[in-house]
């Protein structure tokens, strides 16, 4: 009856309103004839007060023809929700033209009329699981004080002290069956009710007084707190101990802690509705469509510590039921979460389609007017970008940043790969550390005792007052073998973490920076953070670095080229042997020497491959073994055919047209000709063997030299270049090749035609010839040439003591001339660099220049500024 009467009153009000509006239009028609009278009349008839507009539009429906500003505004809101932006913009213009303050009127109408009706219908059970989009208006929800008094405390006390409290049947003749259950069983049922269906607990409490007391029993809420606030990785016993300490913040009130303390909701899905506008395409210039795109971001947490995030344009009614463990779809992220400080959630996720990328998400739990802990505020979203070494000789970075702890302490570690030894399956990394915050003082001395551990290999205990010096650690590759050359890959993993010596339960956040660039090697590093928690706190924060190392693209390409070259040589030799054996091709001594020369030159060609291990790798199985077999068999076949098909030459007497007289002079001529002919053939054979062998060796040497010059031309480590040139035959030309490489890096040094004869760590010796272009008008070597010569030798000696990243600059150069410089000159220096605490140091070197008679010609005093960037 109430609904029918309300509908009748509503209909009467609607009809009266229509009549009033029609009367206004009738009175305005005569005035439309005047210019601009329509707008002025409408302005006078429009209601200017918000209360009048709300009063007349409370019962507005969009089914009728829009008349007032509220009509147009409601239609605009409805069109905007449906994505009809063109119609929505038109309705908004009409609404604001009639009333510039219509948006405030609609907001008040929404809060006073629409929102209360939604709150009233929210608790009504519905058959279909629909999703409603509610725009919260008003102030942010503020949680009450944790130490407030319970307003129902007196009522609960009166119920509990009532001795006659019992179940009252609805019908006197029907007993209450539940009264037979003891209190312990009822409390056990209520405990499961809270965990599985907390929303039904108020209905249970409203049933009767005893049920109300059951719902307020502290043991019930204690049982729920032990399980709801248990973090992943925490046992139930650990949760009991931890929650008993936390409940003290709520005056020991378990129910209040359950309601007010922030927690992650596992009983639903967090949904974020996002909108954006993008322009559309149109065939006409006067029509520009606009697309209003809506997509949803779903986040669901699971009690085991895993989290699922999904981005899609599908509506929640089609997606929520599928968000279960094991769900895989495009734009679906899987990860783990951690609850910090009771209200901050740290999420680390990965997308299976984007391998090698990690997404870090920081959220904060908040409460709204619609429910407790049902909102997540976006604090931070980061995606660390890691560059992988893809080109040889280029420096790349791999960075993993961690925020300092609550005391502002953190540890910055810069690591660089120094060397790789595939034969020993080891790699060496240099670690340079810097303490931040209160962990160290202004000059870098530690304020606390810390321990730095590299897996189970090595650990370093640093005392208070120590300075963090660079550390070099050699690690082992776990997988990989040289037998797969040149496609061999090696993988190694090590953990890095730091903690306080006086409190091993507290780890130090580490920001890790990896830098590596080594000739002939290709690196693919990845970083992962591993954290262990106990009672909601971080016990350990360690970094796991996995390095996948292989041959560089240049090395693999050159190795494949050598294999193809050996196959071409062997196939050509095999084709030649086939022609000699089966096609009766003529074979002589020169042809036999081709196969023998190639057979001896093939090992040198194989050794030209950079970094190739001993015989027996995949490269040998695919090429070298077969090439040697083909060339050896072909050479033997050619030599056998040459021997078998040999025919004794006819005597010169039988080939002569006129018979020679039979006397002693003819016999002597034949006796002299045959030894000369045999000697000539033997010499030609020896010359052929020598030339072929020489050509093969020179070819292998030239190819090796060309490869070394190509790969080492831009190297900034001269000592490494000098040692790499120490190969068979190549070391004969090492001074010339090193001079060319030095001239490429330091072009001015090439103008004096200098050579380096001896070079090792901390020692360098060079020589310079007396050329015309180096002389002065007094027929002696120019002072500028001497200065350049001494500066180049001293620079090489200093660079051999430094790290690749260190930079040097010449501050001063002083030459002390002893005698005139003529003839061949030698310069030598011996220096040992001592590392200091300062990043920039001044270093003094002395270079002695002597002539051919070992008399001192000049002494150069060099002052260098060394900037140690690796420290």
CATH number for the domain formed by residue range(s) 715-867: 3.10.129.10
Contacting residues for 353 by C-beta, under 8 A, at least 6 apart: 330
- H helices present in 149-251, as ranges: 153-160, 183-196, 201-205, 209-215, 218-228, 236-246
Question: Token pair of 563, please?
Answer: 């294999």
DSSP code per residue over 306-354: EEEEEEESS-HHHHGGG-STT---TTEEEEEEEEETTTEEEEEEE-TTS
Return the sign of the alpha-carbon dihedral for residues 16, 18, 24, 29.
negative
With a cut of 50, list the residues of the chain below it in pLDDT: 1, 28-63, 126-139, 385-396, 533-539, 652-658, 660, 664-665, 667, 871
For residue 397, CA distances in Å to 385, 401, 524, 525, 867 come to 10, 12, 11, 10, 21
Q: Are 577 and 639 in contact (CB under 8 A)?
A: no
Contacting residues for 721 by C-beta, under 8 A, at least 6 apart: 712, 715, 738, 741
Host H or E run for residue 103: helix 102-109
Place of tokens 């931890």: 242
Domain ranges of the chain: 1-40, 46-121, 179-260, 270-382, 396-550, 555-645+671-707, 715-867
Q: For position 298, what pLDDT does the model report?
A: 93
For residue 684, CA distances in Å to 675, 688, 716, 865 come to 14, 6, 49, 63
Right CATH for 396-550 from 1.10.1740, 2.60.40, 2.70.170, 2.60.120: 2.70.170
Q: Is 752 exposed, middle or buried (0-12, 13-18, 19+ CB in 10 A)?
A: buried
Q: For position 152, what pLDDT does the model report?
A: 74
Q: Are 719 and 800 in contact (CB under 8 A)?
A: yes
Q: For position 766, what pLDDT does the model report?
A: 92
Q: For position 715, what pLDDT does the model report?
A: 63
Q: For position 847, what pLDDT does the model report?
A: 93
| 541-570 exposure pattern, b = at least 16 Cβ within 10 A, e = fewer | bbbebebbbbbbebbbebbeebbebbbebb
- H helices present in 583-663, as ranges: 589-607, 618-619, 625-644, 652-655
Q: For position 384, what pLDDT does the model report?
A: 55
Q: For position 529, what pLDDT does the model report?
A: 58
Class of domain 179-260: mainly alpha
| 770-797 exposure pattern, b = at least 16 Cβ within 10 A, e = fewer | beeebeeeeebbbeebbbbbbbbbbbbb
């Amino acid at each position: 009856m109430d609904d029918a009467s309300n509908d009748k009153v509503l209909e009467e009000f609607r009809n009266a309103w229509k009549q009033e509006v029609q009367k206004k239009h009738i009175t305005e028609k005569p005035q439309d004839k005047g210019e601009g009278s329509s707008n002025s009349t409408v302005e006078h008839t429009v209601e200017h007060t918000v209360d009048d507009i709300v009063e007349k539009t409370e019962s507005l429906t969009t089914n009728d023809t829009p008349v007032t500003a509220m009509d147009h505004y409601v239609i605009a809101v409805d069109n905007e929700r449906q994505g009809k932006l063109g119609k929505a913009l038109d309705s908004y213009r009409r609404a604001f033209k009639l009333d510039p303050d219509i948006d405030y009127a609609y907001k008040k109408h929404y809060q006073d009329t629409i929102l209360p009706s939604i709150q009233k219908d929210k608790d009504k059970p519905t058959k279909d699981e629909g999703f409603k989009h509610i725009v919260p208006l008003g102030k942010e929800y503020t949680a009450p004080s944790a130490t407030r008094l319970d307003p129902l405390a007196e009522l609960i006390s009166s119920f509990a002290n009532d001795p006659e409290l019992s179940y009252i049947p609805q019908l006197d003749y029907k007993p209450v069956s539940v009264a037979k259950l003891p209190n312990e069983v009822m409390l056990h049922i209520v405990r499961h009710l809270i965990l599985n269906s907390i929303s039904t607990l108020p209905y249970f409490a409203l049933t009767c007084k005893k049920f109300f007391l059951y719902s307020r029993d502290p043991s019930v809420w204690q049982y729920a707190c032990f399980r709801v606030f248990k973090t992943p990785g925490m046992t139930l016993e650990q949760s009991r101990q931890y929650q008993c300490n936390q409940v003290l913040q709520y005056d020991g009130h378990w129910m209040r802690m359950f309601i007010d303390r922030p927690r992650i909701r596992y009983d639903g899905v967090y949904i974020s509705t996002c909108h954006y506008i993008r322009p559309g395409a149109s065939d006409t210039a006067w029509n520009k469509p606009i697309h209003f795109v809506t997509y949803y971001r779903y986040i669901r947490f699971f009690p085991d510590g895993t989290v699922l995030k999904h981005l899609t344009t599908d509506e929640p009614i089609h997606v929520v039921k599928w968000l279960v463990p094991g769900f895989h779809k495009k734009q679906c992220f899987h990860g783990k979460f951690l609850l910090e400080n009771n209200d901050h959630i740290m999420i680390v996720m990965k997308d299976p389609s984007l391998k090698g990328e990690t997404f870090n998400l920081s959220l904060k739990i908040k409460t709204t007017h619609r429910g407790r802990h049902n909102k997540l505020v976006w604090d931070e979203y980061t995606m660390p970008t890691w560059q992988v070494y893809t080109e040889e000789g280029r420096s790349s970075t791999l960075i993993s940043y961690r925020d300092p702890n609550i005391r502002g302490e953190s540890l910055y570690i810069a690591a660089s790969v120094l060397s790789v030894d595939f034969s020993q399956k080891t790699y060496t990394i240099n670690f340079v550390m810097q303490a931040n915050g209160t962990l160290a003082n202004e000059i870098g001395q530690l304020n606390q005792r810390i321990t730095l551990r590299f897996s189970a290999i090595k650990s370093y205990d640093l005392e208070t007052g120590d300075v963090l010096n660079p550390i070099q650690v050699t690690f082992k590759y776990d997988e990989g073998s040289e037998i797969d050359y040149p496609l061999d890959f090696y993988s190694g993993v090590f953990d890095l973490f730091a903690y306080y010596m006086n409190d091993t339960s507290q780890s130090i956040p580490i920001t890790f920076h990896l830098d590596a660039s080594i000739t002939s090697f290709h690196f693919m590093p990845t970083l992962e953070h591993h954290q262990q928690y106990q009672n909601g706190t971080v016990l350990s924060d360690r970094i796991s670095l996995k390095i996948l190392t292989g041959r560089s693209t240049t090395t693999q390409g050159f190795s494949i080229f050598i294999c193809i070259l050996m196959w071409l040589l062997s196939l050509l030799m095999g084709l030649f042997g086939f022609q000699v054996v089966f096609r009766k091709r003529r074979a002589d001594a020169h042809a036999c020497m081709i196969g023998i020369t190639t057979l001896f030159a093939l090992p040198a060609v194989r050794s030209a491959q950079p970094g190739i291990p001993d015989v027996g790798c995949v490269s040998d199985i695919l090429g070298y073994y077969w090439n040697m077999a083909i060339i050896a068999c072909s050479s033997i076949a050619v030599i056998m055919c040459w021997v078998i098909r040999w025919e004794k030459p006819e005597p010169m007497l039988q080939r002569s047209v006129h018979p020679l007289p039979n006397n002693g002079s003819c016999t002597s001529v034949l006796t002299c000709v045959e030894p000369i002919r045999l000697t000539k053939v033997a010499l030609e054979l020896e010359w052929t063997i020598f030339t072929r062998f020489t050509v093969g060796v020179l070819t292998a040497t030239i190819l090796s030299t060309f490869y070394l010059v190509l790969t080492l031309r831009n190297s900034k480590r001269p000592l490494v270049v000098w040692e790499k040139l120490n190969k068979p035959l190549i070391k004969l030309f090492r001074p010339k090749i090193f001079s060319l490489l030095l001239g490429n890096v330091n072009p001015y040094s090439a103008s004096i035609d200098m050579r380096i004869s001896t070079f090792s760590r901390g020692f360098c010796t060079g020589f310079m010839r007396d050329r015309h272009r180096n002389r002065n008008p007094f027929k002696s070597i120019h002072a500028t040439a001497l200065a350049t010569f001494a500066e180049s030798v001293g620079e090489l000696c200093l660079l051999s003591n430094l790290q690749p990243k260190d930079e040097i600059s010449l501050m001063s150069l002083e030459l002390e001339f002893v005698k005139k410089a003529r003839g061949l000159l030698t310069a030598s220096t011996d220096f040992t660099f001592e590392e200091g605490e300062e990043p920039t140091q001044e270093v003094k070197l002395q270079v002695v220049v002597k002539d051919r008679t070992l008399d001192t010609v000049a002494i150069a005093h060099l002052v260098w500024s060394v900037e140690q960037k690796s420290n």
